[in-house]
A = this chain, B = another copy of it.
Amino acid sequence: MSHNTFGHLFRVTTWGESHGPAIGCVVDGTPPGIRFSEAGIQAFLDRRRPGQSRYTTQRQEPDQVRVLSGVVPGEAEGELVATGTPIALEIQNVDQRSKDYSDIAQRYRPGHADITYDIKYGVRDHRGGGRSSARETATRVAAGAIARLVVPGLTVRAALVQIGTIAIDRSRWDWSEIDRNPFFCPDAETAKRWADHLDAVRKAGSSVGAIVEVVAEGVPAGLGAPVYGKLDADIAAGLMSINAVKGVEIGDGFEAAQLTGEDNADEIRTGPDGQPQFLSNHAGGVLGGISTGQPVVARFAVKPTSSILTPRRSIDAAGAEVDVMTKGRHDPCVGIRAVPIGEAMVACALADHYLRHRGQTGRI
């Protein structure tokens, strides 16, 4: 994975900061003939868009995507057909208030990338966090909307499964709940508890972490590779590359450390269709770096945003010791908006491995 590019045959290169004129990405390697539309991409972007509830930043970002290349018009209204050449996607930045950030231009927010950018580059776009802004992730969601179409029959969905110390009750998991609450929560009762909790967090000017679970269904068996080019290694890289993510799991993840070999092994029978049928999915759909045909299940942990109203001890660019608090409009729980981003990264990894598998083996 290079500086700003994800993937090998299906490659996404993103660019842009929150306070420049636009952000965007180049999706290279899309199979020719794939059909999509700006409206279809927009639907995914709208799920990530801030300002939709009081639990996300109140910035207004219409995030209207434009397709600038790599397509010809299809027959249907608004339909686009990929030509196989690079698809450039672009989103204008509209609601920038640079003055909001003036007082943190020279002061490093604890827990934020301000200081490491300055150390690394010696120059930094402090407005809105520059490249570290969650805004970059809008372009990932746009790319993911195309990635989903690369693997026939693929469905990638994600849910928020924990905010702070409050986890969902998995026995109540209902995918249809996801769009009925502002948290992408699959458990209606937990969603209510989260609402109360986040109201308190928000009022305190604080923030809180979260855990997201991504489930990809319809993944063909055989995607991945045995050693470094493992499907799960690339998913891990993709998810860990999302802002504020500090942990990634596949299948049972860290729980697997506590299992015995007997418990962990997913037994196999032959299904009615003559295909292998696994009796459980501790593996999360990946064995030896290669997909089994079961759902691919990944989880990732999002730390609380470092933009809080409580003053914290820090230094400024000149090394002087200061106290820092972050005004402006921020998410009390960035984990919420990470849900569609996690879906996008898993979709991109699957699209890339689908093409790589077809390339090397010709078996799909």
Decide: A247 and B254 in contact? CB cutoff 8 A.
yes
Contact residues of A between 312 and 362, Cβ < 8 Å to B: 312-315, 319-321, 335, 355-362
- CA A257 – CA B302 in complex, angstroms? 6
- Is the CB–CB distance between A321 and B270 below 8 Å? yes
Contacts of A1 in B (CB 8 A): 1, 228-229, 233-234, 237
User: Cβ of A260 and Cβ of B13 under 8 Å apart?
Assistant: no
**How many A residues touch the partner, as a band?**
35 or more
Q: Is A43 interfacial (CB 8 A cutoff)?
A: no
Task: Please determine whether A85 and B257 come into contact, CB atoms closer than 8 angstroms.
Answer: no
Please measure, in the bound complex, the distance between the C-alpha atom of A215 and the C-alpha atom of B287, giving whole angstroms: 27
A228→B237 CA distance, assembly (Å): 8
Contact B211 A254 (CB under 8 A): yes
Quick check: is A23 within 8 A (CB to CB) of the other chain?
A: yes
A6 neighbours in B (Cβ, 8 Å): 228
Q: How far is the CB of A242 from chain B (nearest CB, A)?
A: 9
B residues near A87, Cβ cutoff 8 Å: 15
**Do A315 and B119 have beta carbons less than 8 Å apart?**
no
B contact residues around A86 at 8 Å (CB) = 3-4, 13-16
Query: A107 to nearest B CB, angstroms?
Result: 10
Residue A156 CB within 8 A of the other chain: no
With A5-B5, A227-B3, A237-B236: A13-B32 Cβ-Cβ less than 8 Å? no
CB proximity of A116 to chain B, nearest CB, Å: 4
Query: Would you call A84 and B361 a contact (CB within 8 A)?
Result: yes
- Which chain B residue has the least Cβ–Cβ distance from A318? B270
- B247 & A248 in contact (Cβ 8 Å cutoff): yes
Give the residues in chain B near A83, CB-CB below 8 Å.
121, 123-125, 130-131
The chain B residue sitting closest to A27, CB to CB, is: B15
The 9 A-B pairs at the shortest CB distance, nearest first, are namely A113-B288, A359-B359, A111-B265, A207-B261, A116-B290, A32-B121, A110-B265, A247-B253, A237-B237
